[in-house]
């Protein structure tokens, strides 16, 4: 793609940036503050559209990791790469930051009428940077993209104290209300930003919740294999992929804190770093269990009618088996919903519950086996 260079003052660039992002920030209740190097030159010449697009991506990634949607864009000249570079950096300030940055951030957030509170805990310094070498005439060349994450213990966390009252300067926001339960650790708005639909966000969370204990058990088992086998590369890989999967789903419905913790473990397992895994894994398991007990409103309960129409049950199970064979999971869902309206006695209900689990997991082989088993029992009734 051809580069289109424009000479632009950084202040004007930021103005353009804010014009573009203020509506998004308002909608997502997110806050972006700017850490601008006072020694920057008046103007630089660079591809404004491309850089804006990269910063947009960095911010999008930043939202995933930030537990309070507090992000900082830093723009400064840097010599750290052995030349003279301009560094556009997006940092997560809601997860963990250096202590010496607190006073600065307090001032910055005060401008937006946000009061913050610092506390200690596990976190990380997390930066996305776009760096560009400064050539003659302040032209920025060779734009490249850097991602840095340093997991550290005892970092300082920032929390918004007056979240409900705070508004961005000059913007009148409206609180979005819905009938979903307020659950600790789930930011429905962030989930909605991903799914684009409140119903999908909620159903994703409910589906995750249904199998949450199973996921915790699986992760604990993979961790044990890691320890027992003295850390073979396959074990690290299996453990990492399991954590990676959890991270993705948690982020999808807005459980960003847990998703971020999963991210830290994923990075540690990618580095085969046992020490970091040993510290983070028990915390993750504990936090998942805590979330499981806090998120009970996500449990779906249904009222069933007692039935002894076993012929109809067998017929539906035959259809369900056929649907699984052709991988038509929509049809499986539909037939299961129909079956689950009735209760067929403790033994069969338990097997149907298992069948429900295998349909949720899209495990076609298990669905077929379970259908055969239930058909055999129901056929004898």
Interface residues with other proteins (CB under 8 A) are 57, 60-61, 64, 128, 144-147, 193-197, 200, 203-204, 207-208, 211, 237-238, 241, 244-245, 247-249, 251-252, 326-327, 329, 360-364
In the bound state with other proteins, the residue whose beta carbon lies nearer, of 66 and 204, is: 204
In the bound state with other proteins, the residue whose beta carbon lies nearer, of 143 and 166, is: 143
The DSSP H or E segment spanning 249 is helix 233-252
For residue 15, give every residue at least 6 positions away whose Cβ sits within 8 Å of its Cβ, in sequence order, or none.
none
In the bound state with other proteins, the residue whose beta carbon lies nearer, of 211 and 381, is: 211
Shortest reach from residue 252's CB to other proteins, in Å:
4
Shortest reach from residue 83's CB to other proteins, in Å:
18
Note the helical H segments in 271-380.
274-294, 310-325, 329-339, 346-360, 364-380
Shortest reach from residue 131's CB to other proteins, in Å:
11
Taking Cα atoms as reference points, which of 142, 129, 134 lies closest to residue 85? 134
Shortest reach from residue 282's CB to other proteins, in Å:
23
User: How big is the CA angle at 113 (ends 107 and 119), to the nearest 5 degrees?
Assistant: 60
In the bound state with other proteins, the residue whose beta carbon lies nearer, of 49 and 60, is: 60
What is the CA 112 to chain-centroid distance, rounded?
26
> Within 13 Å and on the Cβ side, how many CA atoms surround 198?
8
Q: 78, 168 in Cβ contact below 8 A? A: no
In the bound state with other proteins, the residue whose beta carbon lies nearer, of 24 and 283, is: 24
Cα–Cα distance for residue pair 380/248, rounded to 1 Å: 44
Shortest reach from residue 361's CB to other proteins, in Å:
5
Cα–Cα distance for residue pair 278/268, rounded to 1 Å: 10
In the bound state with other proteins, the residue whose beta carbon lies nearer, of 18 and 329, is: 329
Shortest reach from residue 94's CB to other proteins, in Å:
18
For residue 104, give every residue at least 6 positions away whose Cβ sits within 8 Å of its Cβ, in sequence order, or none.
35
């Amino acid at each position: 793609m051809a580069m289109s260079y424009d000479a632009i003052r950084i202040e004007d660039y930021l103005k353009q940036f804010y014009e573009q992002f203020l509506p998004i920030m308002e909608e997502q209740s997110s806050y972006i503050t700017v850490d601008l190097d006072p020694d920057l030159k008046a103007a630089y010449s660079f591809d404004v559209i491309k850089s804006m697009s990269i910063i947009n991506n960095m911010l999008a990634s930043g939202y995933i990791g930030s537990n309070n949607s507090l992000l900082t864009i830093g723009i400064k000249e840097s010599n750290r790469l052995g030349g003279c570079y301009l560094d556009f950096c997006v940092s997560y300030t809601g997860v963990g930051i250096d202590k010496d940055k607190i006073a600065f951030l307090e001032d910055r957030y005060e401008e937006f009428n946000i009061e913050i509170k610092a506390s200690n805990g596990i976190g990380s310094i997390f930066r996305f940077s776009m760096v560009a070498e400064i050539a003659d005439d302040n032209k920025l060349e060779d734009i490249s993209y850097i991602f840095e994450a340093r997991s550290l213990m005892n970092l300082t966390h920032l929390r918004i104290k007056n979240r409900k009252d705070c508004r961005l300067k000059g913007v009148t926001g409206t609180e979005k209300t819905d009938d979903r339960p307020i659950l600790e650790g789930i930011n429905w708005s962030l989930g909605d930003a991903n799914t684009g639909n409140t119903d999908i966000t909620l159903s994703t969370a409910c589906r995750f919740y249904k199998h949450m204990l199973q996921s915790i058990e699986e992760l604990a088992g993979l961790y044990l294999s890691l320890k027992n086998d003295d850390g073979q590369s396959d074990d690290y890989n299996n453990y990492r992929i399991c954590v990676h999967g959890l991270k993705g789903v948690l982020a999808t419905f807005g459980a960003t804190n847990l998703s971020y913790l999963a991210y830290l473990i994923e990075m540690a397992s990618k580095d085969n770093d046992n020490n970091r895994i040993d510290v983070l894994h028990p915390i993750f398991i504990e936090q998942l269990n805590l979330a499981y007990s806090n998120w009970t409103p996500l449990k779906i309960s249904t009222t069933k009618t007692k039935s002894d129409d076993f012929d109809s049950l067998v017929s539906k199970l035959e259809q369900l088996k056929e649907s699984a064979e052709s991988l038509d999971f929509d049809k499986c869902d539909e037939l299961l919903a129909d079956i689950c309206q009735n209760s067929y006695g403790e033994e069969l209900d338990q097997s149907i519950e298992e069948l429900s689990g295998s349909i949720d997991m899209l495990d076609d082989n298990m669905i077929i086996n379970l259908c055969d088993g239930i058909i055999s029992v129901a056929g004898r009734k």
